[in-house]
Structure 1
Amino acid sequence: MDRQQALEERVAHLQKAVEDLSDVVAEQAREIARLTRHVGLLMEREAEREAEGGAIPLADQRPPHW
């Protein structure tokens, strides 16, 4: 195998690796966006629940061991 062919094979493998990593990053970006939306909805729901109940927001409550 000559040097040029070996380099071409290495480049092909690297291109495949870059494509695979790009797919992984794109999937992670979609998952992060989905989770961000869910957290936002949960925060809104909790804020509404606290506003309706008139209770002290959980974040402002002292832990039971204090």
Structure 2
Amino acid sequence: MTTSHTTDERITELEIKASFTEDLLDELDKVIVRQQDQIDALIRELGYLRQQYAEPAPQGARNLRDELPPHF
């Protein structure tokens, strides 16, 4: 009976470890999905900024470097 009892304990420990491993895998999957969403948002924002940079400035737009500060 000792061998059977030891085998049952080992199987139980393996089942517990497998359960924790599944939980960890689920959590890591959620992190990956969240990071991919963030990456996608950053890519969209970068595309928007590149598009803004590539478009010429509208006529009449003022350049703040050409203006004097109010204290002059």
Is 1:35 matched with 2:35? yes
Residue identity in the other structure for 1:5: H
Q: Deviations for 1:17-50, whole angstroms, at most 9, x for unmatched residues?
A: 0000101100000000000000000000000000
What is the deviation of 1:8?
0.2
Aligned length: 55
Structure 1 counterpart of 2:13? 13
Gaps of 5+ in 1: 56-66
Aligned CA RMSD, in angstroms, stands at 1.4
Gaps of 5+ in 2: 56-72
SS in 2 for 1:10: helix
Query: TM-score w.r.t. structure 1 length?
Result: 0.79
Judge which range, 38-47 or 1-10, deviates more. 1-10
Alignment partners' CA distance in 2, 1:9 and 1:28: 28
Is 1:50 matched with 2:50? yes
After superposing on structure 2, the runs of 4+ consecutive aligned residues of structure 1 that deviate more than 4 Å are: none
Alignment partners' CA distance in 1, 2:2 and 2:9: 11
Query: TM-score w.r.t. structure 2 length?
Result: 0.73
